[in-house]
Structures are given as structure tokens and as C-alpha cells.
Amino acid sequence: MNISHSTLSRRDFMKGLGLAGAGLGAVAASAPVFHDVDELTSLGSNVNKYPWYVKERDFKNPTVEIDWDTLERPNANNFKSHPRPSAADFTAAGVVGGNMTDLETPAEALALYDYCEKEFPGWDKGYAGAGDIRSTALDNACKFMMMGQWPAEIYQGGKRINVRNAILAAGGTATFSSFLGPQAATTIRPQDFGAAKWQGTPEENFKTLRNAFRFLGCQDVGCAEIDNDTVKFFHKIKGAGSGFNTGEAGGKQIAFKDIDEAYETADEYAIPNKCKYIITFTARQSFEGTRRQAGITESFSVWYCYARYVKMICHMQEFIRGLGYQCLNMSGLYFSNPLSVITGLGEHGRMSSPAIHPKNGTTNRANGWALLTDLPVAPTNPIDFGAYKFCETCGICADACPFGLIQKGESTWENPAAAKNGLAQGQFKGWRTNNTDCPHCPTCQGTCPFNSTSQSFIHDMVKATTTNLPMFNGFFANMERFMEYGRKPQWEFWDIEQPTYGFDTTA
């Protein structure tokens, strides 16, 4: 049974919750109260325009407990570690479309076929294991230059040219995105012409950056300052590439130094201590596309997100350079979930890799891309909208994982996957996905109850209630299961009117 929309009236829904009387009053009582226009307009802390029920917390005090003394900088970002099978290996096992595979083994690919066929009777894996021909075509189209990768062989001037190999032969890298940024000849720094760099207060600088980010396509922006604790979210050594970046060398040191200008060598990323301002932003992906992912890989919702936002990072690096400051791309050199949480872009949840956003749930790619800059920026605080508490009694994503890699049960200080991912025990009280074995299949992200459309009053009411009345969390999780609101058949995507870029910008 697949039900996309509820026919419950507001009145019946409230009665079902027991909120028609005192319960609703409790929610209403927690809403902010303003006594005059000046008081209303002076509320400057909600810089990302979150709903009223989202509360701010103190810096370094998110809803997930962190043992800052136990926490330490990891050596690398350890994800899938087994060797990538060849297309021939997949073909021999009966897996179609070997070049479409992501991080799974042939056995895992076959398990995903079986999973999708049972979840959506009538689903066809197609010629490449990613579903119907339209979904497969959009998947492949959206992979073009994703992750900032230079294309291999493409047509140029009527001939096939291997752009990637040409750039590597010239001493370049496999991606157009980089630690130091493009620093194109067209990006003019004011100090190069004897002019003063941009001068603004930290608050003005935050507003400036947020407007630039939103112009370029992101939704929310977070900021924090590096100190002896937050520096632990950045790796000491870069890990080797995996998946689409297989073959990318690891081992570079990530060093914070008392220097004036950042630099990169074959062995080191050198970061000036004055580049102590962390900038994060949300990278939204299609809600309808995310819940309709199926097959052996994630989908066009993910690939296009990676294609757009990596390019946007380059734009922001050039913009900040044009203001007269440094901007360093830390992609692959940090943990995104804790930086998202610390800077107020979401809460830690059971999936652990994506932070849960108050409006978009887990339909965000990483939800915490990080840049470092020496432009002083006002900080944003952690937030609380009840997601962490909700995850304690939910577990829908863990139940849905085809490979049982998402931690079940209550939040813990223990890391069940510590032996594989090399991360110490006791660093935070939460949940972990075993990313070392995770094949990045298309399942879990589409199941989160916090994913919702802006057109649903019921979901808005539920989110407000989970923040203020957590005793209803178990009921809401069970209702989500009963209504089957999460994942939907892949083929339905093509019958839905799609908003620009795949997501509703009014949300």
C-alpha cells in the first residue's frame, strides 16, 4: 500500500493526537511571544529563518552530548575499504550495467535488486541496475563533472579528447575544485591594486556571505570559530579516494600553522591559524527524487547535488578572494555531521552521516560543506527542534537498511564500528552508520520522517509537536510506518510536476 497524501482533516488529526485541548495549548504556549514591533524586529538570532519551534542552544552544546576531552583529530575519513570490483566481476555475477555501480560488491548489488523488487512490486532493474530507462538516463546525465571531476573522453571540436588526462599531464589534478580555490586571472583582489580589502563587522560579513550563498543556490549558512575543541573535527591526514575518486592518493598532512598565506604541497595542506572561521552551508537535493531512489546506487538527486554545489564552492572561494580574504575548501578533510550540528544546520540523528535539517530532514547532501576563511564572521549556534529525541524512539532508517549497517537502539557512547573505521570509543553519545561497509545504496535517506513537503500542514504540526511534546514521538513514528509516507515507487517521479532544481524554494 502506497499512500502519498492523507485525507485526515485538521480536526480529526488533532483529536487523534489528543491535542484538541491541553496538548495543543502546550505547543502554543511554547511559541515566541512579542509585545511590540521593536521586540519582533530585534530578534536577530534566527538568521536562517527557521520555524518558530526551532530553539537555539549554546555554542558547543548541541543536543548530542560530546566528550571534548576524549575527542581527537582522526587520521583520515575512512569509508568503503574493499577493492572496487571490475565491470567483468559484476557481469560474471549476473549484475547488469557494471559501469553504473557505486561502492557495492556484486553480492550487495544482487541483494539490492531483491530488496527493491520486494519493496516495489513491478520494479525493473533496467539495463544498468538503476531502474527504468528515464531514471537511468537522468542518473548518467547528472554524473557529468560531479564531485568537480574533469571529464575523461568527451567530444571537443568533433574529436574525442580525454580532458582529464590532459590536465593531469600538465601537472593538474583530477578535479577542478581545490584546497586553495581556482584563483582565476579574472578574480581581482583589491590589495593587488593598492585598494583596501572589504571591511565589515562579523555580523555584516555573515549577512554578506549568506546572501552570496543563497544567490548561488544554497539555503542556510552556519559559522563557528576554530578553537582547541572544534579543530578536532578536521582530519590530521587526508584519506585516499574511494568510489568515484578511487586512485586519488591520500596521506597529505593537514596542518594549522602560524603563517600568513595558505599553501599546498605534495605532502601538506598548510592552513594559517588566522583562517579560523568555519563556514558551512546546506546543499539541498530533490525531496521527491530522494524518496524515489532505487537500485544499486544513489540517484540523480544525489549526483546533481554534487555537480552543482562543488561548483558553488569555487564561486564562493573566488567571491571571498575578491573581498580580499582567503577561503580554503576543506572537502574531504573534515567530518560534516558534527560541523553541521555545531553551526546550527541540523541535529545529529540515527543515520549519523547526514545531519537532520528542521525543514528538509535528510534531503541534504552532507549538510555541512566546510570552508575556512580569515574573514571575521559572526557565529551561529546549535539548534534543537526535537530530532535527536525523536530518533531515540524511531529507528525507521535502521529498519530499512538492507545491510543492517545503521545502529539500532538507544544512543550510546560506544562505536560498534570502531574496529573498522578507526574512530575512538566514547567521543559522543549518539548513533553511527558503519560507513566502512556501507555501499551508499539509495535506501535510508528517503525514509526519514523529517523529510516533508512544505505543502503539508500535518508535517509542520508534527515537527512543532516533537520539539515541545516528545511523549508523542513513538506515536508519530508508528504513524509514519502505517501511512507509508517515506519511500515511493521510482517510476512515479515522472508523473509529478517538478519544481525548479527539484526542490521547493518556499520551504
Phi/psi of residue 268, nearest 5 degrees? -155, 145
> In this structure, are strands 221-225 and 277-281 parallel, antiparallel, or unpaired?
antiparallel
* Residue closest to 377 by CA, chosen among 198, 192, 233: 198
Tell me the pLDDT band of 484, cut-offs 50, 70 and 90: low
138 φ/ψ sector (left φ>0, alpha ψ -120 to 50, else beta): alpha
Least confident of 116-130, 192-206, 235-249, 291-305: 235-249
Question: What pLDDT is stored for residue 2 in this prediction?
Answer: 45
Asked if 314 contacts 181 with a C-beta cutoff of 8 angstroms, the reply is: yes
Q: What is the DSSP letter of 234?
A: B
Tell me the pLDDT band of 36, cut-offs 50, 70 and 90: very low
**Which secondary structure element, helix H or strand E, spans residue 269, and what is its range?**
strand 268-272
Instruction: Reply yes or no on whether the pLDDT at 85 is more than 60.
Output: yes
User: String of b and e for 141-163 (b: at least 16 CB within 10 Å)?
Assistant: ebbebbbbbbeeeeeeeeeeeee
| 254 or 26, which is more confident | 254
CA distances from 268 to 95, 173, 353, 446 (A): 40, 15, 26, 38
> Nine-digit cell at 157?
571540436
Average pLDDT over residues 97-121: 87
Question: What are the extents of the domains in the chain?
Answer: 50-82+170-502
pLDDT digits (tens, 9 = 90+) for 52-69: 889 999 999 999 999 999
In three-state secondary structure terms, 277 is strand
Question: What pLDDT is stored for residue 14 in this prediction?
Answer: 41
> In this structure, are strands 327-329 and 277-281 parallel, antiparallel, or unpaired?
unpaired
Question: What pLDDT is stored for residue 464 in this prediction?
Answer: 61
CA pair distance 77, 79, nearest whole angstrom: 6
Q: What is the DSSP letter of 427?
A: S
CA pair distance 436, 354, nearest whole angstrom: 16
**Which secondary structure element, helix H or strand E, spans residue 434, and what is its range?**
none
Mean pLDDT over the full length of the chain: 84
pLDDT digits (tens, 9 = 90+) for 185-225: 999 899 999 999 999 999 999 999 999 999 999 999 999 99
Question: What pLDDT is stored for residue 506 in this prediction?
Answer: 73
Average pLDDT over residues 453-458: 54
Asked if 491 contacts 116 with a C-beta cutoff of 8 angstroms, the reply is: no
Q: What percentage of the chain has pLDDT greater than the value 70?
A: 79
Question: What pLDDT is stored for residue 21 in this prediction?
Answer: 43
Average pLDDT over residues 464-477: 59
CA pair distance 271, 250, nearest whole angstrom: 18
Strand-pairing partners, residue 371, are 279, 329
Question: What pLDDT is stored for residue 480 in this prediction?
Answer: 60
Tell me the pLDDT band of 413, cut-offs 50, 70 and 90: very high
* Residue closest to 448 by CA, chosen among 368, 346, 380: 346
End-to-end CA distance of the chain: 28
| 31 or 371, which is more confident | 371
pLDDT digits (tens, 9 = 90+) for 419-445: 777 777 899 999 999 888 888 899 999
User: What is the pTM for the complete model shown?
Assistant: 0.86
